[in-house]
Amino acid sequence: MSLAGKVVAVVDDEEGVRLALGRLLRAEGSAVEAFASAEAFLAAPWPAPDCLVLDLGLPGMSGPELLRRLEGEGRPVPAVFITARAGEAERQAARRAGAAALLEKPFEGWALVEAVRRAAGAAGSATGGSRTPASPPHMGPPQ
């Protein structure tokens, strides 16, 4: 599955990360909007993305808190979490939030692209268009 025509939102407090991931995902054909915080994402007047690339440990509202809020508002979006620390606590937090994948920084570009493809593809395939997260392929064994 290509990312062409997919809308991806990148939410990370590090500007360099937002710029690099935006370039990578645009090169794969997706439309990308980048945000420095969960609050900025929520305040933006733009269409719901097909996938979120979301820092797990954002200052203010965290990545898992953002996903729970969107779910609670009836606007679930598949998410790929990225983090500098992917210990057991972080994997559990990502699982509980319903993440499609969790990638530890630094990660290979192809790994992010594949995780976004899976998450965005799962959003519209087997569920007839609903945005139920895919099974988490990058989070280690179930606990």
CATH of the domain at 104: 3.40.50.2300
The answer to whether residue 140 is domain-embedded is no
The pLDDT assigned to 1 comes to: 62
- The answer to the question of residue 44 being in a domain is yes
Q: What is the pLDDT of residues 1-16, one digit of tens each?
A: 678 889 999 999 999 9
pLDDT, residue 127, reads 32
Low-confidence residues of the chain: pLDDT under 70: 1, 122-143
Number of domains in the chain: 1
If one counts every other C-beta atom within 10 angstroms of the C-beta of residue 18, the result is 20
Quick one: pLDDT at residue 63?
92
Helix axes 109-124, 15-27, angle to 10 degrees: 70
Q: Are 34 and 18 in contact (CB under 8 A)?
A: yes
Q: State which residues form the domain around 111.
A: 7-124
Q: Is residue 57 part of a domain?
A: yes
pLDDT score, position 132: 32
With a CB cutoff of 8 Å and minimum separation 6, the contacts of 122 are 78, 100, 132, 133, 134
* Residue-level pLDDT at 142: 32
Number of Cβ within 10 Å of residue 108's Cβ equals: 9
pTM for this predicted structure: 0.82
The answer to the question of residue 59 being in a domain is: yes
**Rounded CA gap, 31 and 4, in Å?**
8
